[in-house]
Chain A
Amino acid sequence: MKDLIQAPTQPYQHCDACFARVTDDDTYCAGCGYPLKGSENEQKKFIDHRNKNDVNLPKFKKKVARAGNTLYYLSAVFILYSAISFFTSANDPYILAIVIPYLILAILFLILGSFSKQKPLACFISGLCLYVIVQVLIFINDPEVIDTGIIIKIVIIGFLVKGIKSAVEVERIKNENNIA
């Protein structure tokens, strides 16, 4: 790539770091902030910082993907809940009142999961808050169920929180690298 950019036939100059057009008057690149007239050390520091971001980016993206999968998993869990409650209480006259909330939750998490690729931050924050509120409501309904599957509950919340953190980092790195 670099050879191509620095070919002498180009009528204007390109930034070495992001390939944006620059002029001789510029001290810094207007596209990425690369110190065009800086010392070699400064330029190296800039590239190092960017490379560090490049290394971290896949790590953060992985965490974002994992949080997205958590939303799908929650959707599946609530579908399962609604199916179980449908078959175990088939004679209950209020069966719809039990099944419909679980179905709504399943649909909500499914929607959040499917949008988590485009709008990760919004979906993870929404999903986490919804999950916490659902847990609070379940606790109020029956305080004794709080410790069933507590490890899974903590893991789910942990995945979602890490997803939020990573989504912020991904957005920051994309802004810095001028991808977005």
Chain B
Amino acid sequence: MINDEISPLEKKTCIRCEASINLTAKFCSNCGIVQSDQLTNHSGNKWALIKQTALFYLIYLEVCVVSKFVNYFHTFSWLLLINAVLAITAIAFFCLDWKQNKTLLIWRNFSWPKLCAYLAIAMLASMFVQYSVDWLDITIYSQQQEYYANLKGNIFGEFLLVFFVAVVPAIFEELAFRGYLLQAFLKITDIKQAIYVSAFLFAIIHMSLISLFWLIPFALFISYVRVKENTLWYGVFIHFSFNLTACLFMLS
């Protein structure tokens, strides 16, 4: 919720007693109740909300660490299970505040030009990242490449790779980080800090320090788009386009 400039002469109604009060008033001059907007309404349980996000983040971190560093889990069936666990975690936490979060799933003001512009930006950014990563000589999707080696015998190998690298993360990482986490931080703090924190947490959970140089700007951009457009879907498509381009590089 981004407030535009407001003139002091305009009036609003109190959220409790519905008296007409100045638009800039922080408290109702009739009943004294604080006039905060919906997102900062939970001032009392901010600390509880922070603990909730910490629980979410620890679960996510734990699953990511296990799937990344324990060789035992590097099989196709475990890949399926781990993706399912992450997806369920994301959905469960997203649904904790379903009443407010469901508005994010609505795609208001859908526009083709905007979507195409975002897709193009994501594709260009992904190409830039791929070339700079080649130049830095580090593999960022080493884990997925390993999966791909496993999948190679399969006729659907390429489709599965696209599915697990581009489709699944695009939907569920967006749901988890731009859906649940960003929304929770918007209730805890102001818009800017919420965007920074959710982007930084998203970037560091990939556990690659070198990759931070593109992960942080990428995450900041998606978070910004999500707050500006007030819908998850542009983020999902940006993420999808970004990962798909990376995927095509991997296949070629």
Q: Which residues of A contact B (CB under 8 A)?
A: 22-23, 25-33, 35, 100-101, 104-105, 108, 119, 121-122, 125-126, 129-130, 132-133, 136-137, 140, 164-165, 168, 171-172, 175, 178
The number of residues on chain B lying at the interface, defined by a beta carbon within 8 Å of a beta carbon of chain A, is: 35
A168–B188 CB distance below 8 A: yes
Whether A30 lies near B61 (C-beta < 8 A) is no
Whether the Cβ atoms of A31 and B207 lie closer than 8 Å is no
Pairwise interchain contact A171-B189, C-beta atoms closer than 8 A? yes
| Pair A30/B193 contact, Cβ less than 8 Å | no
Chain A hits for B30, CB < 8 A: 26-28
Closest to A121 in B: B189
Across the interface, do A133 and B26 meet the contact criterion of CB distance under 8 Å?
Answer: no
Q: Mark B6-31, 1 if CB is under 8 A from A, else 0.
A: 00000000000000011011111111
Whether, in the assembled complex, B212 has its beta carbon less than 8 Å from a beta carbon of chain A, the answer is yes
Establish whether residues A30 and B197, one from each chain, have CB atoms under 8 Å apart when the complex forms: no
A33 near B196: Cβ-Cβ < 8 Å: no
**Identity of the chain A residue whose Cβ is nearest the Cβ of B17 in the assembled complex:** A27
Q: Shortest CB–CB separation between residue A38 and chain B, in angstroms?
A: 8
22 contacts between A and B (CB under 8 A): A22-B29, A27-B31, A28-B27, A29-B29, A30-B21, A100-B209, A108-B212, A119-B196, A121-B188, A122-B193, A122-B200, A126-B196, A126-B197, A126-B200, A129-B57, A129-B200, A130-B204, A136-B61, A136-B65, A137-B207, A164-B50, A175-B43
With A104-B209, A121-B193, A122-B196 as known contacts, state yes or no: A27 contacts B69, CB within 8 Å.
no
Interface of A is mostly: helix
Which residue on B lies nearest to A108, using beta carbons? Answer: B212
Kindly provide the distance from the CB of B29 to the nearest chain A CB, expressed in whole angstroms. 4
Q: Which residue of B lies closest to A36 (CB)?
A: B29
* In contact, A27 and B192 (Cβ under 8 angstroms): no
In contact, B189 and A122 (Cβ under 8 angstroms): yes
Contact B28 A133, beta carbon cutoff 8 Å: no
In the complex the two chains form, what is the Cα distance from A59 to B196 in whole Å? 26
CB closest residue in chain A, given B58: A132
Closest Cβ of chain B to A72, distance in Å, is 18
Complex-state Cα separation, A164 to B188, whole angstroms:
11
In the bound complex, do residue A31 and residue B188 qualify as a contact, i.e. CB atoms below 8 Å apart? no
Contact partners of A26 in chain B: CB under 8 A: 29-30
Is B210 at the interface (CB under 8 A from chain A)?
yes
Residues of B within 8 A of A28 (CB): 27-32
- CB–CB A35/B212 < 8 A: no
Whether, in the assembled complex, B46 has its beta carbon less than 8 Å from a beta carbon of chain A, the answer is: yes
A12 to chain B, nearest CB (A): 14
| A172, B57: Cβ atoms closer than 8 Å | no
- A32 cross-chain contacts in B, Cβ below 8 A: 26-27
Complex interface: chain A residues within 8 A of B22 (CB): 30
- Asked if B31 and A133 make an inter-chain contact with CB atoms under 8 angstroms apart, the answer reads no
B106 within 8 A of partner (CB) = no
Q: State in angstroms the CA–CA spacing of A133 and B60 once bound together.
A: 12
**Closest chain B CB from A78 CB (angstroms):** 11
Q: Which residues of A contact B47 (CB under 8 A)?
A: 165, 168
Known: A33-B27, A119-B192, A119-B196. A129 touches B204 (CB 8 A): yes
Cβ contact within 8 Å between B207 and A122: no
Separation in Å of the B28 CB from the closest CB of chain A?
Answer: 6
Residues in B56-78 with C-beta less than 8 Å from chain A: 57, 61, 65, 69
* B201 touches A (CB below 8 Å): yes
Q: Does B205 contact A (CB under 8 A)?
A: yes
Closest CB of chain B to A103's CB: distance in Å?
A: 9
Query: Given the known A-B contacts A30-B22, A30-B25, are A35 and B61 also in contact in the complex, defined by CB atoms under 8 Å?
Result: no
Chain B residues whose C-beta falls within 8 Å of the C-beta of A100 in the assembled complex: 209-210
**A30 close to B26 (CB less than 8 A):** yes
Distance of A137 Cα from B65 Cα, bound (Å): 9
Q: Determine the distance from Cα of A29 to Cα of B47 in the docked complex, in whole angstroms.
A: 28
